[in-house]
């Protein structure tokens, strides 16, 4: 044990000891793009000024842009004529703009509109879709977000790395989605939730914000299929099935979080009693009574229905049972 402790301290001392040395070795500023990496004027289509012209005035933007994946593709590994256009691949032809000394917007697409009137959302999105209308974004057109006039740049920032990945506008997927979906974002802070706040899941673990053929913009074909991607033990099929479980996990659970254990929409036993109220023990409302010490306790015959996990105290296999005697999900 003491050896392990000494190793920890040794590691700390080592890490601190090399600090000044590494500080010298690593503190070189990120280089701007070399002129040779920009497209020559002779190769440009009409109306285009070339990225070099952009840099005359927009060097500051390039400092951060140089660290992004788009910068690497456009300036270091362009595969298409469009990518070889550099800045103008996204911003459109800038010759009129440069020749007017920045006065004339010309054919430029304006994404950031703090100082200028923005281009229409579909025009802005059209720029991105030139390259990105494939794989996960094939169903963007007609999707919920597209029909609500959401711009790609509402969620993504291209000119600098703000996020771990995907050029998001906010630091994380949850923060980005939460800028509109506050209710869902905050649900992860409720008493019962999945580990989104701990960065173990993301909104995009289940949802495709770029559109899908499925409900709630899920990647999976149904809500249940989405749940099974982590909870395959619930997939079955089982000898004894529970109809609402087969059809939709969200009949009982709110996957974004809830006040109730297991992210249930309504607490047990009431959740179960919403359907099971025709015969037998689920029909009774159940009671707490005051005991001899003045404490409120469940009536003796109601302990198993009210305490701990309530109905699931006995009906443990409520998602389905493969036991020959498990019709009531108690086995």
Partner 1 sequence: MRAVAAVVAAGVVLAVPVAARAQGTTATAAGEIGIRAFGERPPDSALAKFIQYRDMPSGLIFPSLYFGIARDSLSTLQLFGRNIGQKDQDLALRGNLPGTGDIQLRWDRITHVFSTNSRFLGTETSPGVYTLPVPRPDTATLNHSAYVAPVRTQWDPVNATITLMPSPLWDFKAEYQHVGKDGYRPMGMVFGGSNNNAREINEPIDQSMNDIRISQAFSQKRFQEVVTYAYSQFTNALQSVTSDNPLVTVDSLKLGTSRGRTALAPNNSAQTLTAVAAGSLPLHTRVTGTVSFGWRSQNQAFIAPTINTQNADSLTRAGYVFPTSLDGSIHTTLTNFTLTSRPVRLVTVSARYRSYDFKDLSQRDSIPILVISDRTFAAGALSEGYPYSRDNADASVSIRPLLPVNVTAGYNWDQMNRDSTVRNVMQVTEKTGRVSFDYAGSRWGSARVSYTYGERRGNAYNQLTTAENPDTRRFDEADRNHKALMVMLSATPVDQVSLTGTYQVGRDSFPNSAYGVQHDNSNSIGFDVDITPTPRVSISGGYLHEWYDNQMRSLYRTGSTSATLANPTWNWIATNIDSSTIGYASFTATLIPNRLEVSGMWQISKSVFQMKASNPVTPAGGTVAQDSAATAMTFPAATQELQPLSIQMRYKISSNWSVVARFETEHYANYDIRTTNLAPATGNFIFQGNSLLPYDAKYFTFLVAFRPGLIRVPRSAM
Q: Between residue 176 and residue 195, which ones bind partner 1 under the rule CB under 8 A?
A: 179-180, 182-183, 186, 189-191, 195
Interacting residues with partner 1 between 45 and 104 (CB under 8 A): 69, 72-73, 76-80, 83
Binders in 237-296 for partner 1, by CB under 8 A: 237-241, 243-244, 246-248, 251, 258-260, 265-267, 270, 273-275, 277-281, 283-285, 287-288, 296
Alpha carbons 74 and 89: distance in angstroms, whole number: 8
- The residue from 52, 55, 118, 216 that contacts partner 1 (CB under 8 A) is 118
CA 115, distance to chain mean position in Å, is: 30
**CA pseudo-torsion sign 26, 28, 30, 31:** negative
3-state class (DSSP) for residue 218: strand
Residue 201 neighbours by CB under 8 Å, 6+ apart: 194, 195
Answer for which of 2, 23, 103, 292 binds partner 1 (CB under 8 A) is 23
- Radius of gyration from C-alpha coordinates of the chain: 29
Phi-psi region of 34 (alpha: psi -120 to 50; beta: other; left: phi over 0): beta
> Which C-beta is closer to partner 1: that of 8 or that of 60?
8
**Sign of CA pseudo-dihedral 215, 218, 224, 227:** negative
Stretch that binds partner 1, among 39-47, 48-56, 98-106, 144-152 (CB under 8 A): 144-152
263 burial class (0-12, 13-18, 19+ CB within 10 angstroms)?
buried
Element (H, E) at 298: strand 296-298
Q: Please identify, among the stretches 11-19, 41-49, 57-65, 85-93, the one whose residues bind partner 1 according to the rule CB under 8 A.
A: 11-19
Residue 148 touching partner 1 (CB under 8 A): yes
In this complex, which beta carbon is closest to partner 1, that of residue 62 or of residue 139?
139
The minimum distance between CB 99 and partner 1, in angstroms, equals 26
Binding region for partner 1 (CB under 8 A) out of 14-22, 44-52, 55-63, 94-102: 14-22
Name the one range near partner 1 by CB under 8 A: 50-58, 88-96, 103-111, 136-144: 136-144
For residue 44, the 8-state DSSP code is: P
The Cα-based distances of 152 to 88, 171, 257, 311 in angstroms read: 17, 16, 27, 46
Q: Per CB under 8 A, which region of 46-54, 57-65, 103-111, 112-120 contacts partner 1?
A: 112-120
Among 233, 290, 292, 294, the residue binding partner 1 under the rule CB under 8 A is 233
């Amino acid at each position: 044990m003491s050896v392990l402790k000494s190793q920890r301290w040794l590691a700390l001392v080592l890490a601190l000891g090399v600090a000044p040395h590494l500080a010298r070795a690593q503190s070189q500023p990120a280089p701007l793009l070399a002129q040779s990496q920009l497209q020559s004027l002779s190769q440009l289509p009409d109306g285009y000024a070339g990225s070099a012209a952009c840099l005359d005035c927009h060097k500051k933007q390039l400092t951060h842009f140089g660290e992004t994946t788009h910068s690497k593709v456009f300036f270091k590994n362009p595969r298409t004529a469009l990518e070889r256009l550099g800045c103008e691949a996204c911003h459109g032809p800038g010759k009129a703009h440069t020749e007017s000394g920045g006065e004339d917007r010309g054919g430029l697409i304006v994404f950031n509109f703090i100082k200028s009137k923005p281009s229409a959302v579909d025009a802005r999105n059209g720029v991105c879709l030139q390259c990105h209308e494939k794989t996960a974004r094939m169903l963007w057109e007609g999707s919920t977000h597209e029909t609500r006039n959401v711009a790609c740049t509402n969620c993504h920032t291209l000119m600098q790395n703000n996020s771990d990945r995907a050029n998001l506008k906010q630091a994380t997927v949850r923060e980005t989605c939460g800028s509109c979906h506050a209710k869902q974002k905050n649900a992860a802070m409720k008493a019962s939730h999945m580990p989104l706040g701990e960065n173990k899941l993301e909104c995009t673990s289940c949802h495709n914000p770029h559109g899908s053929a499925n409900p709630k913009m899920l990647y999976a074909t149904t809500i249940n299929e989405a749940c099974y991607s982590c909870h395959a033990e619930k997939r079955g099929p089982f000898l004894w099935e529970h109809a609402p479980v087969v059809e939709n996990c969200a009949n009982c659970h709110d996957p974004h979080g809830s006040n109730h254990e297991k992210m249930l929409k309504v607490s047990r036993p009431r959740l179960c009693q919403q359907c099971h109220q025709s015969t037998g023990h689920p029909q009774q409302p159940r009671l707490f009574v005051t005991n001899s010490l003045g404490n409120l306790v469940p009536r003796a015959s109601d302990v198993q229905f009210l305490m701990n996990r309530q109905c699931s105290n006995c009906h443990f296999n409520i998602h389905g049972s493969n036991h020959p005697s498990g019709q009531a999900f108690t086995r």
